[in-house]
Structure 1
Amino acid sequence: MTQTNGDTGLPTVAEIDRRSLLKMTGNGIAAFSLAAAVTGPATAQPQVERQGKWDKTFPQSDKVQHQKLTFKTRYGITLAGDLYRPQNARGPLAALAIGGPFGAVKEQSSGLYAQTMAEHGFVTLAFDPSYTGESSGLPRNVASPDINVEDFSAAVDCLGLLPEVDRERIGIIGICGWGGMALSAAAVDKRIKAVVASTMYDMTRVMSKGYNDSMTLEQRTRALEQLGQQRWKDAEAGQPAYQPPYNELHGGEAPFLVEYHDYYRTPRGFHPRAVNSGNAWTITTPLPFMNLPILAHIKEISPRPILLVHGEKAHSRYFSETAYAAAAEPKELLIIPGAVHTDLYDRTDVIPFNTLTTFFQKNLPAAA
C-alpha cells in the first residue's frame, strides 16, 4: 500500500569528469589515498577492535553501547563495522545490518540509522563496504554489485554469531544506492526476514540506462568502448586510474548535485574516508553495474516484507516507485512529504524512525 507520512542523457566515458560520473551513478562514483586497511585473523568470529575517539558525523548517544569490530566476507575481504547495542538490553534480540549510501562510510548516514535503531531496542551493525573506508581490499574505492550484495550477507553472518542476537530475527536497511543492494541481498539470502530501502537507488539501472532510463544504445555502446580503453590504460600502468574529486561545485549544477555537496562536503556530513567527500571511485567501477540488474529477482523477497521510504521531492523517487510496482506483497511504499533525496540521510525530524521501528517489531517478533 502507498502511504503519506506525517511524522538526461549521459556523456561518454571519454568525456568523463566529475559531472558525467555523477550522472552515471547519481551519488558520486567518486583517488582515495590508501587508508589503513583493516585486517584480522582468519576466523569466522567477529573481532573486537580497540575503541578510539568518536569520529562520526552525528553525536554519540548515551542510550546505547558502541563497539568497533571486524568480520570477513565470503570473498575473504575484512569489513570494518560499528556495533550498537541498547543499554541494559537482554537477549536474544532482533538485529539489523545497515549500509549506505553508495560512496559513504559507516561514520555517516548508516551509523546514524544504526545508533538510532539501537535506541529503539535493536542490535545494529553499520559497516564499510569492501574496498572502502576502514574495510580491506585493494585497489581502493572500487565497487561491484555482487561483492556489495555479499557485504550485506556477511554482516548478517556477523550479527548471527553474536550471543545476544536471535538468528531468526535479522533484518537489513539499505540507504540510497545500498537500498538496491539491500533488496538484492534479501532476494538471495533467505535468512533476512525483513528489509527497508530508504531513498533508494538501483545502481545497476542508473549506470546501465541513465537517469529515467534516458541512455540510448549508442550512448551505452560508446561508454562501454571507452571503459574498455580505460582497462588497457590501467593494465599498462599496473594500477587503476581514478575520477576527479567528488561533490565539488563549479556553478550551474542540477539541484540534486547541490544537495549531495551540502551533505558530503560540508560539516553536516563530511568524512575524510568517504568516497563522496572529495575522494573518487576508479574510472572502471561502472563496468559490472552496466551488466547486472540487481533487482531481477525482487519478487522472491516475498513472503518476507519490504518497506520502501522515499522523499516526495527526491529526484530519485522513481526508483522506489518502480521497485514497489515490481515487488510482491507484503510491501509498503512510504512517501515523505516535501523531502528531497538527502533529507533521508541525516534529518532526524524527517527520517521516519518510529515507522521503521514498528515495521521491524512487527516483522521480527520475539518468540511467544
Structure 2
Amino acid sequence: MARRDLLKITGVGLAAAGAASLATTATAQAQSTAADWDKVFPKSDKVDHQKVSFRNRYGITLSGDLYLPKNRAGQALAAIVVGGPFGAVKEQSSGLYAQIMAERGFATLAFDGSFTGESGGEPRNIASPDINTEDFSAAVDYLGLRPEVDRERIGMIGVCGWGGFALNAVAVDKRVKAVVASTMYDMTRVMSKGYNDSVTLEQRTQTLDRLSRQRWVDVASGNTVYQQPYNVLKGGEPQFLVDYHDYYMTPRGYHKRAVNSGNAWSQTTPLSFMNMPILTYIAEISPRPVLFVHGEKAHSRYFAETAFAAAAEPKELMIIPGASHVDLYDQVDKIPFDKLESFFGQHLSA
C-alpha cells in the first residue's frame, strides 16, 4: 500500500481534508428553540438546552451545548462532560450522548474542540493532543461553576478519538470521578504507527520529513494547507471507511461544520500526535473507575483492549455484540445507555 493511501486510512485521513466551509468563532447564545435546532438528532422535550461558551487555559473560547433535565427541582446534579468523535462537532454524536444522559438525570455538556466547529482558535481545523486534552478540563472548569452542578460529582465520556483524550485528561485532572471511553481511538498511536501498528520506521521518517517541510510551505505562503477531501467513495474501500461515509456524508450524521463531513484537517496536524503518546499515564486514573465500551466488530477494538490492559483497577471492558465502530456514534439500540446510567449513578453518587 502506498504511503499516501496509508495516511488516508489513519487518523489523518479519518476526517479528510479541504479548506471549504471553515466555521468562525461563536459567542454564547440564548437558550435554543425548535426553530434554531441544528443537531443531527431530534430535540428532546425532557431536557432544557442552552448554548454556552467558556475559555480554556490557552485563552481559546470553546462553544458548548448544556443539557439539563427538566425535573431537576433546583437540586445540584451530577454532571458529565462529553466530547468526540475526532473530527465531529457537538451537533453530532457527543450531543446525542449528552442529551440522552440529561434525560436520565445528569447535567451534561457537549462541546466543540479548539479550532473546530463553533469554537475559537486559528487556523481552523487543526488538532493537538495537548490542547484537546485541555479542552476537556476547561469543560470541567465551566461545569464546576454552574449552580445546577455538584462539582464534586463530575464524570466524562469520550467518543472515538476523544475517548483517548478523555482518558488522558482524567489521568491528570483529579476532579473527574469516573470516565467512559466509547468506541475509542488512541489518535497518537494511529497517527504515529498506522492501523494495527503497521507503519515502519522508514515510512514514519518519510512522513515526518514531508510534514516538517510542509511547515516552510505554510509559512512562506501565509496560509494553512489542507489535505484533499476524502468524501466520495470510489469502490474497494475498507468497510470502516464505508461506515464513516455513511455517518458523516449522509443525512444520518452530516453536519456542515464537522471536519469529517467533507471539510479538512491541516496537512501538518499529525506532527504533534506522532511525538506525544497520550495514554502513557493511563494507570494513574485509578482508583477512579474507567469503563471501555466497544463494538465486537469494530476495526478499532484493539485500541480499547490495549488501553484496558494498561489501565489499573477498577476498570471494565464492555463489548457490544455485533456492533461496528460507527454504530456506537448514534445507534441508540446498541449504545448501552442503561450501563452508562448505572455506571455514573454509582460512581457520581452524593
Q: Mark yes or no: TM-score above 0.5.
A: yes
Aligned to 1:155: 139
Distance in 2, Cα, partners of 1:260 & 1:136: 26
Aligned to 2:41: 58
TM-score norm. by structure 1 comes to 0.91
8 Å Cα contact 1:32/1:140 also seen in 2? no
- Aligned residue for 1:362, secondary structure, equals helix
| Runs (5+) with no aligned partner, structure 1 | 1-8, 40-46
For residue 33 of structure 1, what is the amino acid of its counterpart?
S
Q: Provide Cα deviations, 1:156-208, integer angstroms capped at 9, x if missing partner.
A: 01110101101110000000000000000000100011000000000000001
8 Å Cα contact 2:15/2:263 also seen in 1? no
Distance in 2, Cα, partners of 1:319 & 1:272: 29
- Aligned residue for 2:21, secondary structure, equals coil
Aligned to 1:38: 26
Aligned-residue offset at 1:88 = 2.2
For residue 192 of structure 1, what is the amino acid of its counterpart?
V
8 Å Cα contact 1:25/1:203 also seen in 2? no
8 Å Cα contact 1:38/1:80 also seen in 2? yes
Asked if 1:20 is matched to 2:7, the reply is yes
> Aligned to 2:293, which of 309, 316, 319?
309
8 Å Cα contact 1:198/1:309 also seen in 2? yes
8 Å Cα contact 2:16/2:263 also seen in 1? no
- Aligned residue for 1:235, secondary structure, equals helix
Q: Provide Cα deviations, 1:89-128, integer angstroms capped at 9, x if missing partner.
A: 0321100000000000000000000000000000000000
- Aligned residue for 2:51, secondary structure, equals strand
> Aligned to 2:108, which of 120, 124, 139?
124
Distance in 1, Cα, partners of 2:242 & 2:192: 23
- Aligned residue for 1:193, secondary structure, equals strand
Aligned to 2:52: 69
Distance in 2, Cα, partners of 1:307 & 1:29: 30
Aligned to 1:42: none
Distance in 1, Cα, partners of 2:98 & 2:29: 18
Distance in 2, Cα, partners of 1:347 & 1:207: 27
TM-score norm. by structure 2 comes to 0.96
Distance in 2, Cα, partners of 1:29 & 1:304: 36
> Aligned to 2:305, which of 313, 321, 325?
321
Distance in 2, Cα, partners of 1:136 & 1:202: 24
8 Å Cα contact 2:15/2:261 also seen in 1? no
Aligned-residue offset at 1:36 = 2.4
Distance in 2, Cα, partners of 1:105 & 1:363: 27
Aligned to 1:213: 197
Aligned-residue offset at 1:29 = 4.8
Aligned-residue offset at 1:249 = 1.1
Aligned-residue offset at 1:32 = 4.1
Distance in 1, Cα, partners of 2:184 & 2:119: 23
Q: Provide Cα deviations, 1:51-77, integer angstroms capped at 9, x if missing partner.
A: 361000000000000000100000000
8 Å Cα contact 1:246/1:275 also seen in 2? no
Aligned to 1:6: none
For the aligned residue pairs, the C-alpha RMSD in angstroms reads 1.4
Q: Provide Cα deviations, 1:238-271, integer angstroms capped at 9, x if missing partner.
A: 1110011233212211100000000000000000
> Aligned to 2:184, which of 200, 206, 209?
200
Aligned to 2:228: 244
Matches of residues 228-307 of structure 1 in structure 2 within 5 Å?
228-307=212-291
Aligned to 2:95: 111
Distance in 1, Cα, partners of 2:314 & 2:286: 7
| Runs (5+) with no aligned partner, structure 2 | none
Closer/same/farther in 2, CA of residues 28 and 34 from structure 1, 3 Å limit: closer
Aligned-residue offset at 1:24 = 4.0
Distance in 2, Cα, partners of 1:132 & 1:329: 34
Runs of 4+, deviation exceeding 6 Å: none
Distance in 1, Cα, partners of 2:254 & 2:264: 14
8 Å Cα contact 2:300/2:325 also seen in 1? yes
Aligned to 2:174: 190
Distance in 1, Cα, partners of 2:11 & 2:166: 20
Q: Aligned pair count?
A: 346
Distance in 2, Cα, partners of 1:238 & 1:364: 48
8 Å Cα contact 1:92/1:164 also seen in 2? yes
Q: Provide Cα deviations, 1:28-59, integer angstroms capped at 9, x if missing partner.
A: 254143322124xxxxxxx5546361000000
